[in-house]
Structure 1
Amino acid sequence: MNSLPSASSRLRRAREATGTGLVVALVSLAAIGCLSAWAGAGHAGSPAKIEVREARVLLPVMPGRNTNAYFRIVNTGGAPDRLLSVTSPAVSAAELTVHRMNEENGAFRESSGSVEVPAEGEVAMSPHGSAVTVRSDPSWRPGERVAFTLAFQRSGTITVEADVRPVTLGSAP
């Protein structure tokens, strides 16, 4: 009995090893090429860079009722971020929400928990998308400013002042 592999068996194993090695080498080269392109474009190590460029809160038709605040959040960084919460000393509760429709075409707001802000992108909150639902202060008047603090997963907190606007002007930035 011969316990050594035959020449054809050794040749087959050598071909399989060479094929596997070639695939690994090509995949590695492709990965290095993609990483080089990504780094060359300035994205390597580029954190999220968040700016809040517009902030407004609607004056409800009935004072003291729930209303919405809207923010235009811009991320000029190379990594995504997430808006986790919004607070304000001027409101008792603030909740991140999203606009939804039911089967009878009735609109309602649903808690969203958080809002994704894409890398090199923006979120423009609106009556038909994301918003911050708050209990309004009955003393608010058009033109006043209300401070809000937005807490982001990566970027920390940003405090901005939102313009109080009547509902008729509320959906326009």
Structure 2
Amino acid sequence: MTAPARRTAAEGWIPTRRRLHDGLLAVVAPLAAFSVALGGLTAWTASGAAGAPPRLEISDGRVFLPYNGNVDTAAFFRITNSGGADDRLVSVTSAAVDSAMLSRHVRHDSGAGSMSMVSSVGLPAGETLAMSASTVDVMVKVKDRRQVGDVLPFVLHFRHSDPVEALAVVVRPGG
């Protein structure tokens, strides 16, 4: 008698019930995961939570009146981010000043304080930054002599949002 013929791998693939089952599982599992992820992202986007950009509002612009012939002073703004994403204030410019730099008040262990220049200031979504002499401000060198009540134009520049024009009124410190 002769031995039954056996197929080898070189002659072709033989589908078996087990191989078909394993191949189907290999396709269905990633497809199901993709469908669940796509459904979740669709619901998140439809609810308005995805991709909501920063929405910035600038108010309460003030510039301290320089005193004793000094040209160095500080400007302050209230910046509200009512949008759904964080942003950063990266610079402030004005035609009315020679220079403007972001600075932060730093309190030392001894109780003394100093100013430190910063490259940007964070604006978290849904929060307000109220600049003050004891937190963050804009150090400026005014070009001309100013009086209380003068209004200076500024442009605030952000990392993700378009620049925003704002006005700041000259006030006496503490006023």
Alignment TM-score > 0.5, same fold: yes
| Aligned equivalents of 1:37, 1:104: Cα separation in 2 | 53
Residue 162 (structure 2) pairs with residue 156 (structure 1): yes
| Paired AA for residue 108 in structure 2 | N
> Which of 43, 49, 71 is the aligned partner of 1:43?
49
Aligned counterpart, 1:130:
136
Q: CA RMSD in A?
A: 2.7
| Paired AA for residue 92 in structure 2 | V
Normalising by structure 1, we get a TM-score of 0.73
> Which of 65, 68, 72 is the aligned partner of 1:66?
72
Highest CA radius of gyration, 1 or 2?
Answer: 2
The 5 A counterparts of 1:1-173 are 35=41, 38-39=44-45, 41-137=47-143, 139-169=145-175
Check whether the contact 1:61–1:167 (CA below 8 A) recurs between aligned residues.
Answer: no
Aligned counterpart, 1:5:
none
| Aligned equivalents of 1:121, 1:38: Cα separation in 2 | 22
Which sections of structure 1, spanning at least 5 residues, go unmatched? 1-20
- Offset at residue 38 of structure 1 (A): 4.4
Which sections of structure 2, spanning at least 5 residues, go unmatched? 1-28
Secondary structure of the equivalent of 1:92?
strand
| Aligned equivalents of 2:150, 2:142: Cα separation in 1 | 13
- Offset at residue 42 of structure 1 (A): 2.0
| Aligned equivalents of 2:62, 2:137: Cα separation in 1 | 11
| Paired AA for residue 77 in structure 1 | G
- Offset at residue 64 of structure 1 (A): 2.5
| Aligned equivalents of 2:52, 2:58: Cα separation in 1 | 19
| Aligned equivalents of 2:139, 2:160: Cα separation in 1 | 23
| Paired AA for residue 100 in structure 2 | A
Q: Identity, % of aligned pairs?
A: 37
| Aligned equivalents of 2:60, 2:38: Cα separation in 1 | 39
- Offset at residue 29 of structure 1 (A): 5.8
